[in-house]
């Protein structure tokens, strides 16, 4: 009975203290595409990634009901940094859903303004609002509506000393620019959701770029935790200063916790203990740790995903990389190695693809044999009636006689095309599509069918794959060269591809561009197959990787090469327009359709060649 009454009391007091409207809640994920369009239309940096902001505790005094209910005052405010645009993960401040959505769009416009104004936070907030209303006067009505709705529910401060400061904030909201610089503690008063964060959190400036442990194919899949906010974290040094057990009172067990390194006990005969342990274990966990040892044991291990499973064809290839923060192209910054899978026996086309391959070959052979009329010829097999009528019309109107021919001739359309098919072979391609297929399986099938299609057209083509572990270990797999004929040897290489490591896309595109530059054909196409964003274990994350890839793509375009991306990433519309442009990419939402879609896309891309 006591427990039931307690639950009723808790539910009632929590609802009474709640200041949000769950029924009018708007999630960032549900409106992210719309926000992205608004942000870019307002002139926002297209290289920024839209993410949910961190939820932080606010120091303003809580209401009596909130203190009774034990509710902390947490806020999510908008801000941006050099890499991300951070917005509240969900907004339920107003009883109308349309107002909550309008607040998202207002914040998207506000974040396009200059956030580095050298003044106090209140003056900066007013100047940013003024900038938005001056640039886009049509937002005045939206802003006024949001201000009135916020002021109605904005609580009065409990302390008399804070009342003048609250009045200044209300005045600044209603009439931006009318309040001069003032010494106001932003955290002592309720937050203003219509303004950007007064003190945006700073990103870590740590120079610790030490890579984490390598991920292998046997690693368990990681489930994504979906939340409406980002979590804060802190780094813990792995030092030897506090090794040993931590003594504490039992009653403190549920009140606090501390990270501690615990050493295993030392055995008198360390050599015997290590050998016995090695003999008893069937499986080893391998990791790196600094320190000294008295003894080393040497034995053979089966390590999946190791570099030694691949044959090195050529190493020491250096490539530049673009640093968008310094605005420089760093020369010889990346190291690329040409590799070939060791287990590459010649293999025929897989049985489940043979019927599809015959259809694809028949279609592209017809495309290759496509003929066209050459008109206005001095001689030919038929009269060119258009040229004849033009000549008669010119003669009757007294115009000079046309020297164009009056015949037409059917001739075969000669294709002058080179295509390099570049496949992303990162570890993410090991993701399961269904109970029987993974992403790497459909990529492999797509390469099989594309090779059959390209061989049927007679176009020059090459196939390659890539992955990376950091800037010093970029792995590039030449599967078929431009001068190699399609054979079971090439099909065996396609069959042997497997996932591994990460996606340093910029370096792979630059190396593929160098290969296409050597082609003398008039049309050169770089077709990229991918399943996600550029990423790697060092700083090649977020905007850094995006900007480097974009720089590599633009460099290829300046050299007369057409980059085109085919992806199965459902979030690709957030970043691919910035990388490839709106016309040079396709998202295949059903991964199983990728093998069939690739030849169709190639036919469409090269129909005028």
pLDDT digits (tens, 9 = 90+) for 244-262: 444 444 444 444 444 445 4
Q: Label residue 419 exposed, middle or buried (CB < 10 Å: 0-12, 13-18, 19+).
A: buried
Residue 166 has pLDDT above 60, yes or no: yes
Q: CA 476, 478, 482: angle at the middle one, nearest 5? A: 140
Domain match, 386 and 430 both: no
Residue linked to tokens 């098919």: 421
Contact between 325 and 565 (Cβ < 8 Å) = no
Q: What percent of the chain has pLDDT over 70?
A: 72
User: What span, in angstroms and rounded, lies between the C-alpha atoms of 224 and 205?
Assistant: 26
Residues whose CB falls within 8 Å of the CB of residue 330, separated by 6 or more in sequence, listed in order: 320, 321, 322, 323
- For residues 551 and 579, state if they share a domain: yes
Where a domain ends, among 381, 397, 412?
412
Both 377 and 440 in a single domain? no
- 1: Cβ–Cβ under 8 A, 6 or more apart, which residues? none
> Which tens digit of pLDDT belongs to each residue from 471-513?
999 999 999 999 999 999 999 999 999 998 899 999 999 999 9
CA distance 74 to 98: 23
Q: Is residue 379 part of a domain?
A: yes
453, pLDDT greater than 50: yes
DSSP string covering 342-359: S--------GGGHHHHHH
Regarding whether 422 and 406 lie in a shared domain, the answer is no
The pLDDT of residue 420 is 97
- What pLDDT score was predicted for residue 265? 46
Residue 282 in domain: no
Is the same domain home to 574 and 550?
yes
The answer to whether residue 327 is domain-embedded is: yes
Residue 566 lies in a domain: yes
pLDDT cut 90: percent of the chain above it: 36
Mean pLDDT score of the chain: 78
User: Residue 266 pLDDT more than 90?
Assistant: no
Residues 6 or more apart from 502 whose CB is under 8 A from it? 426, 427, 467, 468, 469, 535, 536, 537, 540
Task: Determine which of 76-85, 111-120, 345-354 has the lowest per-residue pLDDT on average.
Answer: 111-120
Q: Are 58 and 71 members of one domain?
A: yes
User: What pLDDT sits at residue 390?
Assistant: 83
Instruction: State pLDDT tens for residues 273-313.
Output: 556 555 555 455 555 454 555 555 654 444 444 444 588 99
Per-residue pLDDT tens over the stretch 24-35: 889 988 888 888
Last residue of a domain, one of 188, 206, 229: 188
Mean pLDDT, residues 566-585 taken together: 90
Q: Which of 188, 216, 235 is the last residue of a domain?
A: 188
Residues 328 and 446 in one domain: yes
Q: What is the pLDDT of residues 392-410, one digit of tens each?
A: 888 788 776 665 678 877 6
pLDDT at 301: 46
Mean pLDDT to the nearest integer, 171-189 = 83
In this predicted structure, what is the pLDDT of residue 70?
A: 46
* Rounded Cα distance, 165 and 172, in Å: 11
Q: Based on the domain organization, do 528 and 391 belong to the same domain?
A: no
The CATH number covering residue 527 comes to 3.40.50.410
- Cα 341 from Cα 319, distance rounded (Å): 23
pLDDT at 416: 84
Tell me how crowded residue 362 is: count the other CB atoms within 10 A of its CB: 11
| Residue 164 and residue 52 share a domain | yes
Residues 379 and 519 in one domain: no
Whether residue 195 has pLDDT greater than 70: yes
Query: What is the per-residue pLDDT for 208?
Result: 42
DSSP states along 72-89? --EE--BEE-SSEEEE-S
Predicted TM-score (pTM) of this structure? 0.63
Q: Helix, strand, or coil here: 273?
A: helix
Note whether residue 522 is domain-resident. Answer: yes
- Check residue 368 and give its pLDDT: 62
CB 197 within 8 A of CB 407: no
Task: Verify that 492 and 581 share a domain, yes or no.
Answer: yes
Looking at residues 213-229, what average pLDDT do you find? 42
What is the layout of strands, in order, in the sheet containing 49-52? 49-52, 84-87, 79-80
Min mean pLDDT across 159-168, 284-293, 432-441 is at 284-293
478 and 379 within one domain:
no
Task: Please give the tally of structural domains in the chain.
Answer: 3
- Residues of the domain holding 516: 313-365+415-605
Q: What pLDDT is recorded for position 457?
A: 87
Q: Which of 445, 451, 442 is nearest to 421 (CA)?
A: 451
């Amino acid at each position: 009975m006591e427990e039931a009454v307690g639950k009723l009391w808790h539910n009632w007091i929590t609802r009474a203290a709640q200041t949000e409207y769950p029924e009018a809640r708007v999630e960032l994920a549900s409106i992210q595409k719309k926000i992205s369009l608004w942000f870019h239309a307002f002139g926002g940096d297209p290289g920024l990634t839209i993410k949910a902001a961190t939820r932080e505790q606010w120091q303003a005094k809580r209401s009596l009901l909130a203190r009774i209910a034990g509710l902390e005052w947490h806020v999510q405010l908008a801000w941006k940094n050099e890499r991300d645009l951070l917005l509240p993960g969900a907004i339920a401040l107003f009883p109308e859903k349309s107002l909550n959505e309008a607040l998202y769009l207002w914040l998207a416009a506000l974040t396009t303004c200059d956030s580095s104004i050298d003044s106090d936070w209140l003056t900066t907030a007013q100047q940013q609002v003024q900038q938005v209303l001056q640039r886009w006067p049509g937002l005045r009505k939206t802003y006024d509506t949001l201000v009135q709705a916020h002021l109605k529910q904005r609580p009065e401060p409990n302390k008399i000393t804070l009342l003048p400061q609250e009045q200044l904030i209300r005045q600044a909201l209603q009439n931006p620019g009318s309040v001069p610089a003032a010494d106001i503690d932003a955290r002592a008063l309720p937050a203003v959701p219509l303004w950007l964060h007064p003190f945006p959190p700073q990103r870590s400036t740590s120079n610790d770029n030490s890579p984490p442990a390598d991920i292998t194919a046997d690693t368990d899949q990681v489930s994504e935790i979906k939340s409406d906010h980002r979590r804060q974290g802190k780094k813990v040094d792995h030092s030897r200063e506090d090794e040993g057990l931590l003594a504490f009172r039992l009653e403190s067990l549920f009140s606090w916790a501390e990270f501690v390194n615990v050493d295993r006990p030392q055995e008198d005969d360390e050599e015997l203990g290590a050998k016995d342990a090695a003999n008893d274990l069937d499986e080893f966990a391998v990791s790196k740790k600094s320190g000294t040892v008295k003894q080393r044991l040497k034995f053979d291990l089966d390590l999946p995903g190791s570099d030694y499973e691949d044959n090195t064809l050529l190493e020491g290839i250096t490539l530049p990389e673009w640093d968008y923060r310094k605005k420089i192209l760093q020369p010889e910054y990346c190291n690329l190695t040409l590799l070939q899978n060791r287990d590459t026996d010649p293999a025929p086309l897989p049985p489940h693809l043979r019927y599809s391959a015959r259809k694809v070959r028949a279609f592209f052979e017809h495309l290759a044999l496509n003929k066209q009329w050459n008109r206005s010829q001095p001689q030919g097999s038929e009269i060119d009636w258009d040229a004849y009528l033009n000549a008669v019309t010119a003669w009757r109107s007294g115009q000079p006689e046309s020297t164009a021919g009056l015949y037409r001739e059917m001739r075969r359309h000669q294709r002058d095309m080179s295509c390099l098919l570049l496949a992303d072979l990162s570890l993410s391609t090991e993701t399961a599509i269904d109970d029987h297929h993974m992403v790497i399986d459909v990529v492999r099938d797509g390469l099989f069918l594309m090779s059959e299609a390209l061989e049927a057209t007679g176009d020059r083509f090459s196939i390659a794959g890539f992955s990376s572990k950091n800037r010093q270990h970029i792995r590039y797999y030449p599967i078929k060269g431009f001068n190699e004929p399609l054979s079971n040897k090439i099909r065996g290489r396609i069959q042997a591809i497997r996932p591994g490591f990460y996606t340093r896309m910029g370096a792979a595109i630059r190396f593929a561009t160098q290969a296409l530059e050597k082609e003398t054909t008039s049309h050169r196409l770089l077709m990229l197959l991918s399943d996600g964003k550029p990423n790697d274990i060092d700083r090649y994350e977020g905007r850094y990787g995006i900007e480097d890839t974009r720089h590599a793509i633009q460099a290829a375009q300046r050299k007369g090469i057409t980059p085109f991306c085919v992806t199965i990433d459902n979030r690709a519309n957030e970043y691919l327009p910035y990388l490839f442009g709106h016309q040079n990419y396709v998202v295949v939402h059903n991964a199983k359709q990728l093998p069939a879609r690739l030849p169709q896309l190639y036919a469409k891309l090269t129909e005028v060649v």
